[in-house]
Structure 1
Amino acid sequence: MPEAAVADPTARPARRGRRRDVLPPVVAWLAANLLTWMVAKESVAGDGSKVAFWSTAGRHRWDSGHYLSIARTGYEMFRCRDRYANFPDVMCGNAAWFPAYPMAVRAVSATGLSYEPAAVVVTELSLFGMFAVLWWLLGARLTWATGLTLAIGTVFPGGIYFHAMFPIAAGTLGLLVCIAGVKRGSWAIAAAGGFVAVSSHLVGAVAVGMLLLSALFAWQRDTWPVRIAKAVATAALAGCGVLWAKWMAWQATGHWDAYEIIQRSSYGQGDLRQPFDEMRKAYAFPFSDWYKPQGHLSWLMEHSLAAHRPQLWLNTAFVLLVLATAAVRLVRNHRLDVEEWAALILTVGIFLLPFFAGAEKSWYRNHAQMFVGLIWVRHMPRWVQVPLLVCCAMQYALLGAMFFAGVLV
């Protein structure tokens, strides 16, 4: 019998193994939705009714309206009193929000979907993409370490916004793709991921800083001049996400600084803040004074109205665990992998940025993009991973109920 006709007895098991290797991110995405549905089921909306997680209304919060309006009609900016007689004399409009997510929603709506379902589709596809890219970065092999890491990802702190009509999932996916590009040594992939992250949300700006620093830990097959050139070029291309946002706002409003005008006029933002002062304000912010559901409340709802406080403690603990794990690996191995350096820089940057920029009412959703730090969780001992999973699951339920109650912005 010719050699080519001899069957390879390992071929079919190998194919089965590959199929098993791609299942974990699918399972993680399904589990994330199932757990969020369970939280929503125990929550009460602003009108006292039960929350319908599978409806678009259950995923719509304050800024969602701005993103949807950009998708429908583009950017606008106007004096509030020109339309609302009793409104303070400040600037209104949607030019203080970034374009990548609403433009993706507009593209999906071209299939015939209305804008709200299209926004949910973009969000959920982004979340699935997050799990898929994270799984690749973890090595795409199911072990106790990688399995627990994915499990923590399904209930990641602030991750309730991965299901909302917000660009948090899209921006996080961009950051993960950026890390993947740096790991592969592909400046094009890294720049593309950075561009998506930067044009999705202010937090994406940390990608530009990481890419500039990548000359120190990436592109190591190249000479130093080439490494520096690649780092600067990818950072510049990623930063073009800001230029795109400004160009779109200028086209619609005639102001290249429309973002800054609205942030400064309506929200008193735009300057650097004292981070520890901002942390204190964020911790003390009285969300529960805004709204408390009437009548009998479930245990979950009763204990969720100040969930932002343990959220800050948990986020801080997560960053410290990442830093401690990095220090231990650096001492033991005298080096870190490329993706580990990238994830470390991004995680710390994402944690700090809201407190320097001023985001006392929205820092918790910005911090959700620390999801990239899960690359480090696989290196943590199991006695750290398991308690972290338990704490994240409990906090996910509390912050999720706070979200579905309409308390969070």
Structure 2
Amino acid sequence: MPDSALPDSALPGSAPAEPARAARHRGRRALLPPVTAWLIANLVTWLVAHGSAVAYWSTGSRRRWDAEHYLSIARTGYEMFRCRERYADFPDVVCGNVAWFPGYPMAIRAASATGLSHELSAVVVAEASLFGMFAVLWWLLGARLTWATGLTLAIGTVFPGGIYLHAVFPVATGTLALLVCTAGVERGSWALAAAGGFVAAACHPVGAVAAVMLLSSAFFAWRGDPWPVRFAKAALSAALTVCGVLWATWLMWQATGRWDAYQTIQRSSYGQGDVRQPFVEMWRAYHFPFSDWYRPPGDLPWLVEHSLAAHKAEFWLNAVFVLLVSATAAVRLLRHRRLPVEEWAALILTVSVFLLPFFAGAEMSWYRNHAQMFVGLVLVGRMPRWVQVPLLALCTVQYARLGAMFFAGVLV
């Protein structure tokens, strides 16, 4: 029989074609929800920027305060010096950029090798990381569109503090790394978990909470292995996470000749470096007078005028989020006598990210650190709709208000 008389499936080379096309189609469908979430997140942020009289599509609108330090590390590396060596009227404290970790700046430097400017590379890295966050979260939620998963992605588009996920800050890259770390634990891959932990810790000190989660993972993950192997995987992945901090320390030492460069500038210039009483720090963070410390000149847009104290509502919303995540985990544990691995990981990371800034004394930056609680959305996907819908409404209002503070330059 001639080839033309054969059915398409029997033609040479045609058998694998249909499964390949079906796989590509499934892949495109699987990417559609995270792509949509990423687009909506940018649309909402553009609307907030418009209401704040800021051009969202310029790189300058995303650069505020610490962003300049991350860009300087990407361009020329680390430096540390006495401030009066360059600024005669400045207090005699330590200046430089060794208070900021290298993970995000090194990603900017790598992206700039393509010919993009460092400023544009910084935005590209942040937005690519944000898309990656939605993609990994979608996978952790089961990659199946339901009311619960759809509302969870919607909350992710206006997540508390999420304005920093679009900014020239390491928040999106560090949060993506925490989600990858969670996915590694869920998959039973200690190497993937360790890689995510390393990047998270290299991006920001808050990312080191991954080591806490990985150490405790021996008790809820790696269940197919005997106990000695479980402890070995937990310890090894946690140790590799800590290497992210050691890498940052090594880079600073290479540039300044001091192993304690980070600790020195924290003590000298920011009065940090010791362990604080968290409830005292919460009070200080809540009452910090941002609008008195810096207020944009001239007449302010309505949204900015009514958002200069939005950090107070942010504190309560973040506290409510942690309580909801914790309560959801407790209810599921009581009902099912166990929690899935990814939910244990998300719970530990969320609570740790919330508490760490207050132990460290981050009274002027806790709100952006808390944006890394995004990983807690894994448990938001298990909440009932009557909890998710009000949470979405509260997050939307607060996202606009905190975003206005950021675009006005009031937030550090």
Per the TM superposition, whether the score is higher than 0.5 is yes
Matching residue of 2:29: 20
Following TM superposition, by how much is the alpha carbon of 1:294 offset from its aligned partner in structure 2, in angstroms?
4.6
Structure 2 contact 171–371 (Cα < 8 Å) conserved: yes
**Residue type of the alignment partner of 2:157:** T
> Which whole-Å CA distance do the structure 2 matches of 1:302 and 1:390 have between them?
21
Matching residue of 1:378: 381
Report matched runs for 1:199-348 at 5 Å: 199-348=202-351
Matching residue of 2:55: 52
Q: Secondary structure at the match of 2:362?
A: coil
Deviations 1:125-183 (A, max 9, x none): 11111111111101111111000000000000000000110000000000000000000
Deviations 1:351-391 (A, max 9, x none): 00000000101100000000000000111110000000000
> Which whole-Å CA distance do the structure 2 matches of 1:91 and 1:233 have between them?
36
Match of 2:43 among 27, 34, 39: 34
Following TM superposition, by how much is the alpha carbon of 1:301 offset from its aligned partner in structure 2, in angstroms?
1.6
Q: Secondary structure at the match of 1:53?
A: coil
> Which whole-Å CA distance do the structure 2 matches of 1:298 and 1:84 have between them?
35
> Which whole-Å CA distance do the structure 2 matches of 1:16 and 1:247 have between them?
46
- The CA RMSD over aligned residues, in Å, is 1.7
> Which whole-Å CA distance do the structure 1 matches of 2:22 and 2:217 have between them?
39
Does 2:90 match 1:93?
no
> In 2 relative to 1, CA 3–54 (structure 1 residues): closer, same or farther, beyond 3 Å?
closer
Structure 2 contact 107–125 (Cα < 8 Å) conserved: yes
Structure 2 contact 80–256 (Cα < 8 Å) conserved: yes
Q: Secondary structure at the match of 1:222?
A: coil
Structure 2 contact 108–122 (Cα < 8 Å) conserved: yes
> In 2 relative to 1, CA 87–17 (structure 1 residues): closer, same or farther, beyond 3 Å?
same
TM-score, scaled to structure 1 = 0.95
Matching residue of 1:66: 69
> Which whole-Å CA distance do the structure 2 matches of 1:24 and 1:254 have between them?
48
Structure 2 contact 205–245 (Cα < 8 Å) conserved: no
Following TM superposition, by how much is the alpha carbon of 1:297 offset from its aligned partner in structure 2, in angstroms?
3.6
> Which whole-Å CA distance do the structure 1 matches of 2:173 and 2:226 have between them?
34
> Which whole-Å CA distance do the structure 2 matches of 1:201 and 1:296 have between them?
36
Matching residue of 2:167: 164
Structure 2 contact 158–396 (Cα < 8 Å) conserved: yes
Following TM superposition, by how much is the alpha carbon of 1:14 offset from its aligned partner in structure 2, in angstroms?
7.3
Q: How many percent of aligned residue pairs carry the same amino acid?
A: 75
Matching residue of 1:187: 190
Structure 1 contact 21–142 (Cα < 8 Å) conserved: no
Following TM superposition, by how much is the alpha carbon of 1:22 offset from its aligned partner in structure 2, in angstroms?
1.6
Deviations 1:197-233 (A, max 9, x none): 0000011010001000000000010000000000000
Following TM superposition, by how much is the alpha carbon of 1:302 offset from its aligned partner in structure 2, in angstroms?
1.8
Aligned length: 402
Does 2:371 match 1:368?
yes
**Residue type of the alignment partner of 1:25:** P
Matching residue of 1:173: 176
> Which whole-Å CA distance do the structure 2 matches of 1:218 and 1:67 have between them?
35
Matching residue of 2:3: none
Match of 2:10 among 5, 20, 23: 5
Matching residue of 1:47: none
Match of 1:407 among 392, 407, 410: 410
Following TM superposition, by how much is the alpha carbon of 1:52 offset from its aligned partner in structure 2, in angstroms?
1.0
TM-score, scaled to structure 2 = 0.95
Structure 2 contact 303–404 (Cα < 8 Å) conserved: yes
> Which whole-Å CA distance do the structure 2 matches of 1:98 and 1:14 have between them?
40
**Residue type of the alignment partner of 2:381:** R
Deviations 1:34-55 (A, max 9, x none): 1101100111xxxxxx311111
> In 2 relative to 1, CA 61–298 (structure 1 residues): closer, same or farther, beyond 3 Å?
closer
> Which whole-Å CA distance do the structure 2 matches of 1:385 and 1:398 have between them?
20
Does 2:144 match 1:141?
yes
Following TM superposition, by how much is the alpha carbon of 1:262 offset from its aligned partner in structure 2, in angstroms?
0.3
Q: Which runs of 4+ in 1 moved over 6 A?
A: 10-14
> Which whole-Å CA distance do the structure 1 matches of 2:39 and 2:8 have between them?
44
Match of 1:358 among 357, 361, 368: 361
